[in-house]
Structure 1
Amino acid sequence: MSHAHAHTPHRGAAHGTDRDGQAEILDLDAEVLAEHTASITAWLPLKTGPHHIVDLGCGTGAGTFALLDRFPDARITAVDASADHLQRLRTKACARGLEDRVRTVQADLDEATWPDLGSPDLVWASASMHHMAQPDSALRTVHDALAPGGLFAVVELAGHPRFLPENAPADRPGLEERVHAAADRRQAEHLPHRGADWGPMLTAAGFTIEGERTIAVNIEGDRSEAIGCYAVGVLQRIRSVIADRLTPDDLAALDQLLDTSSPDSILRRDDLTVRTERTVWAARRA
């Protein structure tokens, strides 16, 4: 499941091919946010260590490998619509000696019939549920697939990560907020469930909510070259879908930031941060 829109950390539900270097951005997302992903897996209210986990919309494996690290006795079924992403995930699993613990399944979760995913103890869906055309149906399918007492973890980003100071760039202060506002307006048209409160929908599907947690992400950019590359990748993907919604001056300023050969490139800034929020809902099947 591949993010096909500007909300870049997407492990979406219904798109089968990689576009615009999305896999590279997913890998950077996994690297930059690894500590926060690990904190979510540690927080999950599990009564016992899971033996079978399903990662819905696994992308290139950020959640898959965090869960394998957290639960060394578990095996994982990683599900995605993108053959490219699944191949990359398998390559990583082999490189880490984990191929025996990972099974990949290519599937479009907007189809009426899902593949047989077994009876998992834990289902993990990170930045994928809001891509579902019919999330209520998907939630019921997950509920029925889970083993009795099993847990469903839904993780969603509050929005696009922010990278620049508010007064940047000097000649177009506030540019990033205007870019994000344009992207938010576009996504409201195409992804009505982005930013949703999943608690009531999970309850309606038969789950009992056992926990909800919001994690603030604020990572100083001077500590990692990956953050600069992540910022370029995210903003390039946003630009690809909202260029026609920006003023000519804002578009020119954005292009200057994204020009990696320019002295004003994002890659040459020493004031980058990664700022966003991730919310996780932990829901149990009775």
Structure 2
Amino acid sequence: MNTTETSTVHSHQNHTGADADTVAMAEMLELDAEVLGTYLSELTAWLDELTDREPRRIVDLGSGTGTGAIALARRFARADVTAVDLSPQMLHRLTKKASALGLADRVIGVQADLNDGWPTLDTCDLVWAAASLHHMADPDHVLAGAFDALRPGGLLALTEMDFFPRFLPDDIGVGSPGLEARIHAALSPGPAVDWTDHLARTGFALEARRPFTIDLPAPLPTAAARYAQVCLRKLRSHLDEQLPAEDLAALDAVLDSEGPHSVLRREDLTVRTTRTTWAARRL
């Protein structure tokens, strides 16, 4: 979706250097995979129901550190997964992760800028694109490439975050209540992208459109607290002059790892968001 919030956190097709932003992005993606593992399992199980036969070749577009690629390799045990991303640093992390999980023979990374066209790949059974398509200069061109890459009957799974995760209670014990709501309002998110018409224009037949609600209650594991800190820290980097000083100070108190209001010390954190997946078929 073309919103300020998501473009600050899901831009792995735009990173080429091993700078601090890339490292932070990689950590966020890996924590996302760890914290939202149940959601990923539910999503891939649903795709398993929709496929017309067991996939043998899968492509993950804008793979980042491999959240989707790894989940798909685990779900479809006979499939080879090609993870395509612009960033060599992201692909290096993916390769290390696949090797550690014993998947190095089935999950491989391919560096490519999808804005320049598809890399040369074998015909595939399933194409996965999670929170990456909206970053492309011409999404329809990328979708057309996915259509051409799929065999007849093959499936495209396209996922977007409907809104950035929320973590904090209304009253965090410092500053005025409602801080997190004001943070997201200040970033002025637009409406979520609806890919239905784009899919039809590029020849796909929409099989299903399904929202997945993520609502993890307190208390959460340590990884979720770190996930909240990394996500909120990323938002903080875009908030100077967007919020009053009192709100920025309160957010800084939440982000301070050692402070009494630190997100790492809280027992009232939750994770709340929704993600929508379009499943479309090449007929």
Q: Same fold (TM over 0.5)?
A: yes
Structure 1 position 24 matched with structure 2 position 21 = no
- 1:235 paired residue among 215, 232, 237: 232
Return the offset for 1:82.
1.1
**Mapping 1:199-238, distance limit 5 Å:** 199-238=196-235
State how far apart, in whole Å, the 1-side matches of 2:119 and 2:177 are.
49
Other structure's SS at 2:63 match: coil
Other structure's SS at 1:266 match: coil
- 1:143 paired residue among 142, 147, 158: 147
Q: Deviations over 1:109-159 (max 9, x none)?
A: 122x32112211000001111111211111111111111111000011111
State how far apart, in whole Å, the 1-side matches of 2:188 and 2:145 are.
29
Instruction: Supply the AA of the counterpart residue of 1:122.
Output: L
Other structure's SS at 1:241 match: coil
Return the offset for 1:32.
0.6
Return the offset for 1:220.
1.9
Return the offset for 1:223.
3.0
Q: Which of structure 1's runs of 4+ aligned residues deviate more than 4 A?
A: none
Q: Deviations over 1:14-72 (max 9, x none)?
A: 33235431111111000011110110111111011100000001111111111011000
- 1:81 paired residue among 67, 71, 86: 86
Instruction: Supply the AA of the counterpart residue of 1:148.
Output: P
Instruction: Supply the AA of the counterpart residue of 2:107.
Output: V
Pair 1:169–1:179, CA change in 2 (3 A): farther
Q: TM-score, normalised by structure 2?
A: 0.92
Return the offset for 1:179.
0.8
Pair 1:170–1:262, CA change in 2 (3 A): closer
Q: TM-score, normalised by structure 1?
A: 0.91
- Contact (CA 8 Å) 1:13, 1:110: kept in 2 or not? no
* 1:71 aligned residue: 76
Other structure's SS at 1:100 match: coil
CA RMSD, 1 decimal: 1.6
Instruction: Supply the AA of the counterpart residue of 1:40.
Output: L
Return the offset for 1:6.
4.4
State how far apart, in whole Å, the 2-side matches of 1:235 and 1:243 are.
13
Pair 1:12–1:88, CA change in 2 (3 A): closer
Of 271-280 and 99-108, more deviation after overlay is shown by 99-108
* 1:284 aligned residue: 281
Instruction: Supply the AA of the counterpart residue of 1:116.
Output: T
Aligned pair count?
274
State how far apart, in whole Å, the 1-side matches of 2:9 and 2:30 are.
10
- 1:257 paired residue among 251, 254, 257: 254
* 2:65 aligned residue: 60
* 2:132 aligned residue: 128
* 2:166 aligned residue: 162
- 2:56 paired residue among 33, 51, 60: 51
**Mapping 1:80-99, distance limit 5 Å:** 80-99=85-104
- Contact (CA 8 Å) 1:12, 1:129: kept in 2 or not? no
Pair 1:145–1:78, CA change in 2 (3 A): same
Structure 2: runs of 5+ lacking an equivalent = none
- Contact (CA 8 Å) 2:12, 2:25: kept in 1 or not? no
Instruction: Supply the AA of the counterpart residue of 1:173.
Output: P
- Contact (CA 8 Å) 2:56, 2:80: kept in 1 or not? yes
- Contact (CA 8 Å) 1:256, 1:265: kept in 2 or not? yes
Return the offset for 1:9.
5.3
Structure 1: runs of 5+ lacking an equivalent = 189-193
